Structures are given as C-alpha cells and as structure tokens.
Amino acid sequence: MNGIIKYAGDLLVIMLVAFPPFLYLYRYLYDKIKNVFLRIALYAVYWAGTLYFSNVLPAASVLFLIYRSRKESIYHRNDEEGEDSRQRKFNLDCTGWRWKFSIKNFIKIALWGIPIKYAVTYINLLFIEVLSKLKITLTNQEVVNQFLKSDVFQSIVLSMLVVVCAPIVEEFVFRFWLYDRLLKNRIGTFFAAILTSLLFMAAHFNVQGAVTFFLIGIINCFIYDRYGYWGAVANHFMFNFTSAILLILIKFLNIPV
C-alpha cells in the first residue's frame, strides 16, 4: 500500500511539473496548427511521453519553445485581431536578456555551483544531525534508490534525466513560471522566492534533503534575477551533476550508504 501511495505521489509531481510547459506548448500549437486532430494527437503524445519518459518531453518542449521564440520573434507579432501577442495568455516571450544563452556565462555559473553545492550540503548535514537526535526516520530520495539499484544502461538514462532534463524543466516551472511570472509582481521578490522554494522543496518529496532543496531554490531565484533562466539552469545542472558523480562512485565502488 505504501508503495502505491509513493508511486502515485511521484506520478502527481511529474504531472504537475509537466503542466506549465504544456500550457505554453498548447498555446503555440493552437496558434500554429489549424488541424484540430493533429493538435490533439500532439497533445496526447506529450502526455503519453511524459508518463513513459518522465521529464524528457517537457524538457524538449521548453527548449523548442525558447528556440522558436528567439529565432522567429513569434510572440512579438500582432495577431489578426490586433492584440499584442505578448499580452496573450501563455505566450512565451524569450527575446529578452533572461533567455539569452552564453556558453561562457553557463560555464562560469556552473563552476560557481561547486562551492555552492558543498556549502548547501554542509548546512543540510547539520539539519540531518538535528533530525537524527530527534529520532526521525530518514530515507534517501527515491531517485537515489533507483540509481543505486539500476544497471549500467538505466544509470545512464537516470543521469540524463537528472542532470540534463530536470534543470531545464524545473527552472522553467519554478523560477520562470511560478517565481517570475505568477508571484513576484503580486507578493514581492522576497516572499515569491520563499514560496517557490518551499514548493520546490515539497516537489522533491524528501525530508532528508529538505534544507538542500529549499536553499537551492532561494539561490536559483537570485541567480535567475541576476543572470537569467540559463544561469539558474547552470547552477541546477552542476548541483545535479556533482550528485550524479557521487552516486556513480558509491554504486561502482560499493560504498555503503
């Protein structure tokens, strides 16, 4: 029964994280494809693929939408009714500086992510120590357990999902959509960062890593405001990359955890 509840919880998180990219993909396909049946088929592929491949299709959709917006400036044009398309719901304007990708800045912020990772990890260890003293049962994050039990091919797939796809999707959902688009102008930068970081923490569904996820959420809100979407992705990428390397060492050196 506990296994079913846990699986349902994980599935719910995946669906919720996949929903914001779908809203923008829906708007784009609605504007670009007039054939209703083709649109429905593409929507079905998105959700079926999300259920089967986790965050691969949401990540691919985010990259596709960013690319199309920046390349063609689609969302800057006026539609047939004279409405500025930037004001239309779920149209994505990626022509600003926040969406500009720079390999130099990406590498720089990713390298900054290494000391950030270890500082956050140290703080989280103090939190774990407190939980241990309180006799609270601690468990690994489910993806960690899956990785440690997986074969080589499965380990590679999981690494790609965690290191590449997760940062692309989660920064779009939590930093762009929730923090910037929905909350910041309504409740202010400080409270928006706190709330989205709490939601980011809850989405990872693990008490043992709660402080880590919350602090990374706060830090990535700051990075997003200062360096844009790809800056937040870079820090998230390095955080997950170093975690994946550690898990690989634990797995193949048979280090007990």
Note the pLDDT tens digit of each residue in 219-245.
999 999 999 999 999 999 999 999 999
Residue 75's pLDDT is what?
45
CA 82 to chain centre: 35
DSSP H helical ranges for the chain: 2-32, 36-53, 56-72, 103-133, 142-149, 152-160, 166-170, 184-187, 189-203, 210-227, 229-252
The reported pTM is: 0.88
Residue 82's pLDDT is what?
41
3-state secondary structure of 151: coil
CB 56 within 8 A of CB 165: yes
Burial 151-189 (b: 16+ CB within 10 A, else e): eeeebeebbebbbbbbbbbbbbbbbbbbbbeebbeeeee
In this predicted model, which residue has the larger pLDDT, 252 or 189? Answer: 189
* Tens digit of each residue's pLDDT (9 = 90 or more) over 113-157: 999 999 999 999 999 999 888 878 777 777 777 777 888 788 888
